[in-house]
Amino acid sequence: MFLCVTNRNKLINYYMRLEICNYRRLLKRKGNGPVIESENSHEDLKHAISKVGDFSDDNRSGIDSSLHRISAIRNRKMQIIGLTCRVGRAVSGSADIIRDLVEGGGSILVIGRPGVGKTTLIREIARMLADDQRKRVVIVDTSNEIGGDGDVPHAGIGRARRMQVPNVNMQHNVMIEAVENHMPETIIIDEIGTELEALAASTIAQRGVQLVGTAHGMTIDNIIKNPSLQILVGGIESVTLGDEEARKRKVQKTILERKGSPTFTCAVEMITRTECRVHHRLDATVDAILAGKSPLFEIRHMDTEGYGSLKLIPMFQENLIEESDGSLKSISILQENYVEETEVITSDKERCDEVESDEEVEDEDYCSKQSKTWKSSGIEIKRKSPVCVYTCKVT
């Protein structure tokens, strides 16, 4: 079998199955395209398997000193009849889109569907914290996806230390061991998927260690509805209200509320490899979702073509304001943004300044607002009044 793959820079996945043509998946292209027309034989699969390492209990393997992941498909007799090859890359600058969150020191939860770039993002976060911030970073690498296969980790993680996990069921034990034995300032965890791993992550956060982890899902609402991962957002409990309190809140007598503080300070929902939704306060976001309101979030887009600048888009939504007489009034208070254009961004390392609110906002007001972004294409924007929407009591 002779394999020739074009557009290697855009290759994401490569699929091999017995008696079926090989297929590939390319970046920014829907569907899969055939690579070769000849069908695979047992000899082709054996040849491919011989070039990779041993498969672990989770049917994953890798190539020494690389970030690629090879997953096996087995039949009922546990014989390998197919391979899924995930192409791994260390992308420098991929975490610049959330640099302010990383440097802020808070714990970050990255949520996204499979293949959207979560592992690439936290690999760059690990390098950024270890090299740029000079922090003691420990990576709990279950499938060797972050640091690559082999005993010597990939250069993409910088000075960060990597702890390999012998068995996928031991990840939560290795997470606790990392805190107790190696004095980290930051722990990086990929694919928190079980209740034990979520409990271990909560324990780590309570010990004053910055935590950066990923979980499968599209939005925070998916984490709330996942019984195994609810503890990451503080846990959910059912509360029965009295008649007077229910009338005051104008809700049913039985409602859902957050049980405790979330494990993570903020959350990032990966939409694509260059676009994400940022929830600066995860506790307020969870409270808003449970109350049936729209949470406040920020949409960020990384312009990979041209100047490589960060685009921010603020989103408005009308808010219901309770007047002194008890009636509700729908208002939207908008303040003009005085924009001053400055020099053109010429380096990928330069980005738009972080937008900060000029006013302190109460928790209940924070939950009832929704964000929006503001765009800048090739220019740096300074805002004299960054507050676009705020809520106030009408007296």
pLDDT digits (tens, 9 = 90+) for 124-150: 999 999 999 999 999 999 888 899 988
Provide the pLDDT for residue 327: 33
Provide the pLDDT for residue 228: 93
DSSP-assigned letters across all residues of 60-109:
EEE-BTS--EEEEEE-TTS-EEEEEEEPP---TTTTGGGHHHHHHT--EE
Provide the pLDDT for residue 223: 95
C-alpha–C-alpha distance, residues 211 and 205, integer Å: 6
Structure-token pair, residue 135: 């922090």
Provide the pLDDT for residue 36: 52
Burial 101-133 (b: 16+ CB within 10 A, else e): bbeeebbbbbbbeeebbbbbbbbbbbbbbbeee
Provide the pLDDT for residue 251: 80
C-alpha–C-alpha distance, residues 51 and 273, integer Å: 30
Provide the pLDDT for residue 8: 65
Sign of the torsion formed by the C-alpha atoms of 139, 142, 145 and 148? positive
Residue 4: pLDDT above 80?
A: no
Provide the pLDDT for residue 323: 35
β-strand pairing of 275-279 with 298-302: antiparallel
Query: Average pLDDT in the 277-305 region?
Result: 89
Provide the pLDDT for residue 1: 40
Provide the pLDDT for residue 175: 95
Radius of gyration of the chain (CA): 24
Domain 8-86 listed as CATH 3.30.450: yes
pLDDT in tens, 247-269: 887 788 888 889 999 999 999 99
Residue 299: pLDDT above 90?
A: yes
Residue 385: pLDDT above 50?
A: no
Instruction: Tell which residue, 314, 327, 270, 303, has the closest CA to residue 120.
Output: 270
Provide the pLDDT for residue 197: 95
Q: Between 258 and 335, whose confidence is greater?
A: 258
Q: Between 370 and 203, whose confidence is greater?
A: 203
pLDDT in tens, 154-212: 999 999 999 999 888 899 999 999 999 999 999 999 999 999 999 999 999 999 999 99
Q: Between 166 and 37, whose confidence is greater?
A: 166
pLDDT-derived band at 23, boundaries 50, 70, 90: low
C-alpha–C-alpha distance, residues 118 and 108, integer Å: 12
Provide the pLDDT for residue 250: 78
- In the three-class reduction of DSSP (H, G, I as helix; E, B as strand; rest coil), residue 187 is classed as strand
Structure-token pair, residue 62: 């890798």
**379 near 342, Cβ under 8 Å?**
yes
- Report the mean per-residue pLDDT for the chain: 75
- Return the CATH fold of 96-300: Rossmann fold (3.40.50)
**287 near 367, Cβ under 8 Å?**
yes
Query: Which of 143-157, 227-241, 274-288, 301-315 has the lowest average pLDDT?
Result: 301-315
Other C-beta atoms lying within 10 Å of the C-beta of residue 307: 19
Question: What's the angle, vertex CA 337, arms to CA 333 and CA 339, rounded to 5?
Answer: 175
The domain locations on the chain are 8-86, 96-300, 303-354+361-395
pTM across the whole model: 0.72
Provide the pLDDT for residue 19: 66
Residue 346: pLDDT above 90?
A: no
Residue 363: pLDDT above 80?
A: no
Q: Between 160 and 324, whose confidence is greater?
A: 160
Provide the pLDDT for residue 298: 92
Q: Between 181 and 306, whose confidence is greater?
A: 181
**270 - beta bridge partners?**
276
Provide the pLDDT for residue 128: 95
pLDDT in tens, 64-82: 888 888 999 999 999 999 9
Query: Average pLDDT in the 313-340 region?
Result: 34
C-alpha–C-alpha distance, residues 190 and 204, integer Å: 15
